[in-house]
Amino acid sequence: MLQNGNWFPRIPCFLSLLMLPQLLIKHQSSYSFNSIIRTHLSSGHPEKALTNFTQFKEQGLLPDNFTIPSLLKLCFELNQPSIHGENIHAFAIKTGYLQDIIVSTGFVELYFNYGHFSASYQLFDEISERDVVLWTAMVSGFSHNGLGDQSVNFLSRMLREGIKPNRITLTSVLAACSQLMVLNLGRSVHGFSIRNGIFKADDVVLETAFVDMYAKCRNLIYSSRVFDRMRERNSVSWNAIITGQVNYGSSEAALRLFREMMYENKTEPRSSTLASVLQVCGGTTDLRRGREIHGHAVRSCRRSNLDSLVENNALIDMYAKSGDLNSAVLLFQNVRNKNLVTWTTMISGYGMHGLGKEALKAFDEMKKSGINPDGVSFIAVLSACSHGKLVDEGLQLYISMQRDYKIQPEMKHFACMVDLYARSGLLEQAFGFIEKMPVEPSEFIWAALLSSCRIYKNVELGENAAKKALTYDQYNAGVYILLSRIYADSGRWEDFSMVRLFMKELGLKPVTARSWVEVERKVYTFTVRDNLNPYSKKIYNLLETLKEKMEKGGFDSDRSGGGHNNISEEENESDLCGHTEKLALAFVLIKCGGHQGPIRIGKNLRVCTDCHESFKFISKITNREIILRDPNRYHQFKQGSCNCCDFW
């Protein structure tokens, strides 16, 4: 594709243009077209840019080195066959424009955008005189493609070759540090930027990148320290610290910061910030707090004359994520001018609750109402299919996405498809799909396959997937855990111990299981074999009684649901499952057994079959609805059955 990039002679185009009067005219009109196309692109109107480019061609003009970078952006943004990246590439080689480092940097970026990073690399390799911008494009390209280690490699390579990184390079590499969760490296980038005078006071973007990096490396202390010292903050900065607190810090801090931002009244919250804060309620299944933030959101939207649609969309999302699908649907039905986001939010809400059919229905209604789906809404509906075990429907949608809507599938779509097949037990199809993918599969693709290999006990494919996933991140504890469970499930205890030993040597620990529940305005958290709680004796007694009742009631706690099998007893006693959700449930029953209304429990790991069965039974004998949220979806237990139909 990119052969012989270097032997084309540099065309002295400006000289020939000056020598020929006709061409001077051509040059002038190219200039104005180039400028107009550029303007449309940067103001977010790629269609207008395309119209201008069409006129440009109709006048018999040919793209030059100034046109090509814009064309590449256009090519990526519109995804139209009339402007094809590889054709432009061939053209650039033929005309010699590829010799121009600005043009070639554009191609490097284009290939990165399509996830085709080996093409980017090859091109980079063929460029002899590399400048900071090209190096930075490599650093950011790799990090955007989830290859943080390569991104960091390129930074050290450029340092070795004596190219001094600038503030943009460092901002890019910080994103990689976040991905890799390498706090120490992030800190040294921070120090480097100060020592070398790259960081200057009030560089909001770079400072925000530090805040974000520290938060994502799970160090909220450093993150807050940088944030607190910032003199200027924009909405991205606030977003970084608030979502940081939501994800890895404390909900209280997130809420406090949100209030502070509102009080300061200098920065309008982004819809993503609102959604993040609302997620605090989703995370703790705490509706009361959600309503409080709802109030803030309403006031903020009123003040800024923000379209109330943004607010409604965030609220629908909040209710769906808090497990209150009914409120979400009610709100959704009352929104008059539903936009693409409204529909997508509702579709993913249905998906999370395992209602694949409803998600499909909403998707069709959306199309009928004249709104065309985009890539994101396809992700929502595809994952709904995957959770609803609707393999054929999902496949049809995937085909239609490309055929009818000309949407090029991206890594996330590929991941949905792999999950769609694998979750339904079609492991070979999932593997076949991965092999046929036009881009190199990312870590998550292999992780998706791996987790289904565990469910369906496929050791061979599981080992393979784990190996692939670990080539991206050797320190991914989740991968080792899944692999060890696969071994445990098939009785391969030696292999199991080996993986665990290996983990220990790498200093990796399994995630501690945690469940939480809100009772009387307080959130109680339960971890494995929790004896600290003053109620623990009562809790364990109640669980024992319930277990006996279950056995008498003919509930086989070893029955496997949806292909999920229980891990062995040793495993249950370790920190893998811990049945913390059972502790939480027993606690609620003891504290407020007489109450009615649904019990909402949250959990940081996927629910195991044993707990799932118990919850079904308990919902029946106590005649209460139980809503259990795991990281992926909701389970709604009612009268002895769950809305997931034992498939999750």
Partner DNA sequence: ATAGGGTTAG
Binding site for DNA (CB under 7 A): 27-28, 30-32, 34-35, 38, 64-66, 69-70, 73, 100-103, 105-106, 109, 131-134, 136-137, 140, 144, 166-169, 171-172, 174-175, 178, 203-206, 208-209, 212, 234-237, 239-240, 243-244, 247, 270, 272, 275-276, 279, 376
Task: Determine whether 630 is exposed, middle or buried from the number of CB atoms within 10 Å of its CB (0-12, 13-18, 19+).
Answer: middle
List b or e across 403-438, with b for residues whose CB sees 16 or more CB atoms inside 10 angstroms: eeeebebbbbbbbbbbbbbbbbbbbebbbebbeebe
Which lies closer to DNA via its Cβ, residue 2 or residue 174? 174
| Cα–Cα distances in angstroms (integers) from residue 150 to residues 123, 139, 144, 173, in the given order | 16, 8, 11, 10
Smallest gap from Cβ 35 to DNA, in A, equals 5
Q: Is 387 helix (H, G, I), strand (E, B) or coil?
A: helix
Cβ proximity of 413 and 378 under 8 Å:
yes
Which lies closer to DNA via its Cβ, residue 101 or residue 523? 101
Smallest gap from Cβ 17 to DNA, in A, equals 8
Smallest gap from Cβ 621 to DNA, in A, equals 38
Nearest Cα residue to 457 out of 560, 575, 382: 560
Cross-sheet strand order for the sheet of 514-519:
522-527, 514-519, 599-603, 626-629, 634-638, 641-642
Helices (H) and strands (E) counted in the chain, each on its own, are 33, 6
278: tokens are 């609302």
Which lies closer to DNA via its Cβ, residue 9 or residue 507? 9
Which lies closer to DNA via its Cβ, residue 235 or residue 557? 235
Which lies closer to DNA via its Cβ, residue 175 or residue 257? 175
Cβ-Cβ contacts under 8 Å for 87 (sequence gap 6 or more):
none
Pairing of strands 626-629, 599-603: parallel
Smallest gap from Cβ 65 to DNA, in A, equals 4
Smallest gap from Cβ 414 to DNA, in A, equals 16
Smallest gap from Cβ 71 to DNA, in A, equals 10
Which lies closer to DNA via its Cβ, residue 95 or residue 609? 95
Which lies closer to DNA via its Cβ, residue 414 or residue 524? 414
Cβ-Cβ contacts under 8 Å for 84 (sequence gap 6 or more):
75
Give the DSSP per-residue string, 552-597.
Answer: HTT--TT--BTTB-PPPHHHHHTTS-TTHHHHHHHHHHHHTTT--S
Which lies closer to DNA via its Cβ, residue 76 or residue 647? 76
Other CB atoms within 10 Å distance of the CB of residue 609: 21
Report residue 535: phi and psi, to 5°: -90, 0
Smallest gap from Cβ 380 to DNA, in A, equals 8
Smallest gap from Cβ 580 to DNA, in A, equals 25
Which lies closer to DNA via its Cβ, residue 1 or residue 205? 205
Smallest gap from Cβ 481 to DNA, in A, equals 23
Smallest gap from Cβ 240 to DNA, in A, equals 4
Smallest gap from Cβ 134 to DNA, in A, equals 4
Report residue 231: phi and psi, to 5°: -90, -35
Which lies closer to DNA via its Cβ, residue 66 or residue 496? 66
> What's the one-letter identity of residue 241?
I
* Whole-number Å distance between alpha carbons of 631 and 218: 18
Which lies closer to DNA via its Cβ, residue 215 or residue 584? 215
Which lies closer to DNA via its Cβ, residue 109 or residue 530? 109
Which lies closer to DNA via its Cβ, residue 49 or residue 513? 49
Largest CA distance in the chain: 98
Residues recorded for the chain: 648
Smallest gap from Cβ 118 to DNA, in A, equals 19
Smallest gap from Cβ 133 to DNA, in A, equals 3
CA 317 to chain centre: 16
List b or e across 114-127, with b for residues whose CB sees 16 or more CB atoms inside 10 angstroms: bbbbebbbbbbeeb
Smallest gap from Cβ 206 to DNA, in A, equals 5
Which lies closer to DNA via its Cβ, residue 21 or residue 594? 21
| Cα–Cα distances in angstroms (integers) from residue 249 to residues 179, 222, 241, 252, 314, in the given order | 17, 12, 10, 9, 22
Cβ proximity of 242 and 257 under 8 Å:
yes
Smallest gap from Cβ 525 to DNA, in A, equals 22
* Cα angle 332-615-362, degrees, rounded to a multiple of 5: 20
Which lies closer to DNA via its Cβ, residue 239 or residue 285? 239
Q: HSE of 159 in the Cβ direction (CA atoms, 13 Å)?
A: 13
> What's the one-letter identity of residue 328?
A
